[in-house]
Every structure is written in structure tokens, then in C-alpha cells.
Structure 1
Amino acid sequence: METKMLDAHIPLPLAERLDALAIDLAQPRDEIVTEAITAWIDQEERRRITALRTIAAANTIVLIEHHRAIDWADSL
């Protein structure tokens, strides 16, 4: 797989946590960061799809006159 080098400035406490986790898991930092970014992007894409579906559903709501709803309820 092709890769692209990205530079990011992150807060020192976060960098220290990343270093500690990499040591504990015996995994390179770039693998941990790649996994974290992948999970974040997947989550954001799911949220976007959910929002778009919600908007689409709201646009398809059918309105009925109040008296028709009352008549229907009375018929039950």
C-alpha cells in the first residue's frame, strides 16, 4: 500500500501517552496513529450518513389535517 507522510503538532501530554502506549503494546507509533485515524474517520462517516438519512426522512414526512387524525383515532 502506498503511504503519505503527514506531520502533526500534538500536545506534549498526548505525545507522551502515545509513546507509552507504543511501548506497552510493542507497536510502532505510526500503526497506532493509523488505527486511531481510521476509527475516527469511520465514525465521522457513519455520523454523516446518519445525519443525511435523518434529513431525508424529515423531508418525506406526510402531513395530514388535524380533523382527519381525530376521525381516524375515533374509528379505532
Structure 2
Amino acid sequence: METKMLDAHIPLPLAARLDALAADLALPRDLIVAEAIAAWLDTEERRRISTLRTLAAANTIVVVEHDRVIDWADSL
């Protein structure tokens, strides 16, 4: 797979946590970062799809006239 070099400035405490995890798991930092980015992107894409579906559903809501609701309530 082709790769692309990205530079990112992250807070030192986060960098320290990344270094510690990489050492504990004996994994390269770039692998951990790539997996984290992939997981974040998957989550954001699912949220976006869910939001779009919700908006589409909201546009299909049937509006009932007020008088019909009153008539229904009175019939109970």
C-alpha cells in the first residue's frame, strides 16, 4: 500500500502516552496512529450517514392538521 507522510503537532502529554503504548505493545507509532485515524474516520462517517438519514426521515414526516388532532382527541 502506498503511504503519505503527514506532520502533526500534538500535545506533549498525548505524545508521551503514544510513546508509552508503542513501547508496551512493541508496535511502531505510525501503526498505532494509522489505526486510530482509521477508527476515528469510520466513526465520523457513521455519524454523518446517521445524520443524513435522520434529516431525510424528518423531511418525510406527515403533518396532521390541528382540527383532525382535536377531533381524534375528542373521540377518545
Q: Distance in 2 between matches of 1:65 and 1:9?
A: 56
For each residue in 1:22-71, what CA deviation from the matched residue of structure 2 results, as whole angstroms up to 9, or x when unmatched? Answer: 00001000000000000000000000001100100000000112343455
Which residue identity is paired with 1:3? Answer: T
Q: Distance in 2 between matches of 1:34 and 1:66?
A: 54
> Structure 2 matches for 1:38-53, cutoff 5 A?
38-53=38-53
TM-score in terms of structure 1 length: 0.88
TM-score in terms of structure 2 length: 0.88
- Residue number in structure 2 paired with 1:19: 19
Matched residue count: 75
Percent identity (aligned): 79
Q: Distance in 1 between matches of 2:71 and 2:38?
A: 53
Runs of 4+ with deviation above 3 angstroms: 69-74
CA RMSD of aligned residues (A): 1.3
Structure 1 unmatched ranges of 5 or more: none
Which residue identity is paired with 1:2? Answer: E
